[in-house]
Amino acid sequence: MVEWRMPGVVLSARPFGEGDLVVHALTEELGLHAGLVHGGGSKRNRVDYEIGNRLDFSWAARLNEHLGSYRTDLINAPAAGIMHDADRLAGLASLCALIDTALPEREPAPGLFAALNLWLDQISESHWAPLLVRIELGLLEVLGFGLDLSSCAVTGESDNLTHVSPRTGRAVSATAAEPYLDRLLPLPGFLLGGKSAGDADILAGLRLSGYFLERRVFNVHNWTMPPQRALLLQRMQRRIDEASA
């Protein structure tokens, strides 16, 4: 019998058979890990397995490669405080779906685990959306496709970086970008530190990270981007449209 116990964050919970759930959780030591929760789909228990919930997971299986079973205790439910906020809920659904789909199973991702927990702690704060974009870029880095925003790919200068090359994932300065604006991706200033982020900046950041997630991760595996992320983009665009109306 193989067993372990550690805290984790629920990324997804899908029905399995009569009243059971297959729960995917992000843990610090084992990364993305799945397990069967007997009776987890019942009306009384289902609320514990909402996405974003922090649980104390106990997992056991006869062999390590088996799906295994979870026993859990609820630690807290960060989403309970944002049930009135459709934008934050869309952000939570999108981020959990991205990690659940893109992250390889059972590979440690302590940095991503820490970042997700930090975001959950601050999900009610005003900077929830810029931080979400940073975590998406962090997911790219964990997967081996991190962007290089430290200096211009053409001139080597570290100032006035305004775009990103879709081919190399490297930053480009305003001067070097000028002849190729129609081929480059906008780089919102908040990703370089020290600048506030408006809704248009956040949308640009989501499009930037989404471009590389789709082409370097999802398309390679013939996956489609989660519909939850498309909904998040729609909500951010709606915020911009409403503000300009």
pLDDT at 244: 87
Q: Is residue 66 part of a domain?
A: yes
Q: Which residue has the tokens 């964990």?
A: 142
pTM of the model: 0.96
pLDDT by residue, tens only, the chain of 245 residues: 899 999 999 999 999 988 999 999 999 999 999 999 999 999 899 999 999 999 999 999 999 999 999 999 999 999 999 999 999 999 999 999 999 999 999 999 999 999 999 999 999 999 999 999 999 999 999 999 999 999 999 999 999 999 999 999 999 999 999 999 999 999 999 999 867 899 999 999 999 999 999 999 999 999 999 999 999 999 999 999 998 87
Question: How far is C-alpha 45 from the chain's CA centre?
Answer: 26
The closest of 123, 131, 133 to 9, measured between CA atoms, is 123
Cβ atoms of 133 and 191 within 8 Å: the answer is yes
In total, how many domains does the chain have?
2
Q: Tell me if residue 127 falls in helix, strand or coil.
A: coil
Q: Is residue 193 part of a domain?
A: yes
pLDDT at 31: 97
Q: Concatenated DSSP letters for 190-219?
A: GGGSS----HHHHHHHHHHHHHHHIIIIIG
The CATH number of residue 45's host domain is 2.40.50.140
Does one domain contain both 72 and 85? no
Domain span at residue 69 reads: 2-76
Q: Is residue 162 part of a domain?
A: no
Does one domain contain both 15 and 112? no
Examine the fold and report which residue of 76, 105, 139 is the final residue of a domain before the chain moves on: 76
Does one domain contain both 67 and 94? no
Does one domain contain both 17 and 66? yes
- Class of residue 38 by CB neighbours under 10 A (exposed 0-12, middle 13-18, buried 19+): middle
Does one domain contain both 39 and 123? no
Examine the fold and report which residue of 76, 95, 117 is the final residue of a domain before the chain moves on: 76
Examine the fold and report which residue of 23, 48, 76 is the final residue of a domain before the chain moves on: 76
Does one domain contain both 104 and 141? yes
Give the pair of three-digit tokens for residue 54. 């922090």
Does one domain contain both 140 and 210? yes
Does one domain contain both 21 and 46? yes
Q: Is residue 46 part of a domain?
A: yes
Does one domain contain both 37 and 116? no
Does one domain contain both 66 and 43? yes
Does one domain contain both 112 and 72? no
